[in-house]
């Protein structure tokens, strides 16, 4: 009687099943986290007490919770994303203090030079994409967009 060794097939199937179940468990935990965040607006709004789920009257924090499964490490990450709510999600989850906010007067400034950042695409007089300017062509396009929208020189980051 011959025995055929197929442990690699068993391991591959077990890993695939682990990834599948990890994704489902992550989605379930994400749902629990989203449901725990109150998003009702109240006249006398008060922040949540320490140790309790945060409140999100606008719903942004609730909508910022995502999950991702890393197949290589077979682990999952669940939590608020930086791109949607910034660092406040991490502060709500782990505690601590927020750094001082950047003044509103600095918002919208571009660093129009190669290696800097600026508008890449504009649609109906609104900037819809900003990115790193790596080539002279991208820099020229960014300058066209800034000039076309009539932004003041101080907004472009250029030295006056």
pLDDT digits (tens, 9 = 90+) for 6-51: 999 999 999 999 999 999 999 999 999 999 988 777 777 888 887 8
Tally of structural domains, the chain: 2
Q: Are residues 146 and 116 in the same domain?
A: yes
Cα distances from 111 to residues 1, 31, 58, 100, 153, in angstroms, run: 74, 40, 32, 22, 11
48 belongs to a structural domain:
yes
Structural domain that includes position 114: 104-156
Rounded Cα distance between 68 and 76, Å, is 6
pLDDT of residue 154: 46
Tell me what percent of the residues of the chain surpass a pLDDT of 90.
28
pLDDT of residue 21: 95
Residues of the chain with pLDDT under 50: 105-106, 154, 160
Q: Are residues 32 and 90 in the same domain?
A: yes
Q: Are residues 12 and 66 in the same domain?
A: yes
């Amino acid at each position: 009687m011959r025995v055929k060794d197929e442990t690699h097939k068993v391991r591959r199937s077990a890993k695939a099943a682990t990834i599948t179940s990890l994704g489902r468990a992550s989605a379930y935990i994400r749902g629990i986290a989203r449901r725990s965040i109150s998003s009702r607006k109240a006249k006398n709004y008060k922040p949540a007490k320490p140790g309790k789920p945060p409140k999100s009257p606008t719903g942004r924090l609730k909508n910022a919770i995502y999950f991702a499964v890393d197949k290589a490490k077979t682990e999952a990450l669940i939590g608020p994303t930086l791109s949607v709510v910034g660092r406040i999600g991490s502060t709500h989850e782990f505690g601590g203090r927020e750094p001082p906010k950047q003044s509103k007067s600095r918002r919208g400034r571009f660093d129009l030079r190669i290696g800097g950042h600026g508008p890449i695409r504009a649609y109906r007089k609104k900037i819809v994409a900003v990115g790193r300017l790596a080539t002279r062509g991208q820099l020229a396009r960014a300058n066209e967009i800034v000039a076309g929208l009539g932004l003041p020189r101080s907004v472009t980051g250029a030295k006056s």
